[in-house]
Amino acid sequence: MNRTSFRKIVAPSVAVLALSVSLSACGAGNETAADSGSDSGSSESSGLSGDLNGAGASSQEKAQGAWATGFQGMNDGNVTVNYDPVGSGDGRTNFISGGVSFAGSDSYLTDDEGELSGAKERCNGEDPIEVPAYVSPIAIAFNLDGVDALNMSADTIAQIFDGQITKWNDPAIVKENPDADLPDEDITPVHRSDDSGTTKNFTDYLGKASSSWSYEAEDAFPVKGGEAAEGTSGVISAVSGGSGTIGYADESQVGDLSVVSVKVGDEYVAPSAEGAAKVVETSPAAEGRADVDMAVDLDRTTTEAGAYPVVLLSYLIACQTYDDQSEADLVKGYLSYIVSDEGQQAASEEAGSAPLSGTVAEKAQGIVEGISAG
């Protein structure tokens, strides 16, 4: 299957479930979003009106709902934020084409398919903004009768998703879980059918942490077989509705499914916001990026105690300058709220994500503050 065929231009005016939220701008004072901000990392806006359209990572779905609700609460006018969780690949495509004002993406722009240069062209020749907005573990969730938790090394996980391990009582799984009652049942690995930053982060982990994975990190899942499902919700539905199923998804959306604890050094670590944050804090910035680009190369092989390396760092992608003043004000106001202390706390409470560290948040706030019209 040519998974790039899933990419499409998404009409931003289409209603997007609960994420299309009617917002209003506060009438206190005459300050616009372009003049907003405070020393505490908060964001205030006033006098805003119109529609703001974004699309991208489905991992951000719960967080985007919380951000839209928070932005509504701090505003008193007529603003509508539409975020369509079509997946990171389609989100980037729609941003580059000019179909949306901003995108959410679980992987940063590269020029492997001309995305970085395409985004620069869309942004009137300026480098696009990429700031981290959402830090979360990717859970490896499974549905197996009588088994509530499992330990797995990166090699075991890689062999399962590559179709090399096909039974739940395979010796490799038994060795890491001697006390588990593992049945002689087929394993059904579930992967994303759409271009997904979650997939890219998951395959990046497998490629760097396991010698059993021979594929490059990419948005399209590289292995044939298993079951394919669209979006985070599709993966969760497929794993929940099957027997002997296992898949990968943002931890905030796994619900009551059982999850794998991943081997890190000499211990097994369950997915957590704190474990994800540890990986981000110790990972280096990507080389050769512009000053407005906060891309990070995540350290998947860390042995730091408590770190959880199957993590996604999800970005907001926008332009430094917009042709229209209203669009610039809306993008700046909304993104300022997202990277503020309040916005990060709202996402943490709703989606279980890890708030950006103080240093990272401060840098992101300064970059977003520079959005303008021109």
Q: State mean pLDDT over 179-190.
A: 97
Contact 154, 263 (CB under 8 A): yes
Position 216 scores a pLDDT of 94
Position 358 scores a pLDDT of 86
Contact 201, 232 (CB under 8 A): no
Output the pTM of the full model.
0.77
Least confident window among 150-159, 209-218, 272-281: 272-281
Which tokens is 202 given? 């998951």
Position 77 scores a pLDDT of 56
Look-up of token digits 């499902």: 229
Position 44 scores a pLDDT of 54
pLDDT tens by residue, 229-273: 999 999 999 999 999 999 999 998 899 999 999 999 999 999 999
Position 79 scores a pLDDT of 78
**If pLDDT is split at 50, 70 and 90, which confidence band does 282 have?**
confident
**Average pLDDT, whole number, for the chain?**
87
Position 8 scores a pLDDT of 36
Closest CA to 58 of 2, 3, 119, 134: 134
Q: Which domains does the chain have, with CATH numbers?
A: 3-136+280-301+312-373 (3.40.190.10), 138-274 (3.40.190.10)
**If pLDDT is split at 50, 70 and 90, which confidence band does 69 have?**
confident
Closest CA to 128 of 315, 339, 312, 359: 315
Which tokens is 43 given? 């964001």
State the DSSP H helix or E strand holding residue 67, giving kind and residue range, or none if neither: helix 61-73
Q: Which residues pair with 285 in a beta bridge?
A: 296
Position 237 scores a pLDDT of 98
**If pLDDT is split at 50, 70 and 90, which confidence band does 321 have?**
very high
**CA 343 vs CA 29, 31, 65, 348, 365: distances in Å:** 22, 20, 11, 9, 12
Closest CA to 325 of 273, 289, 371: 371
Position 252 scores a pLDDT of 87
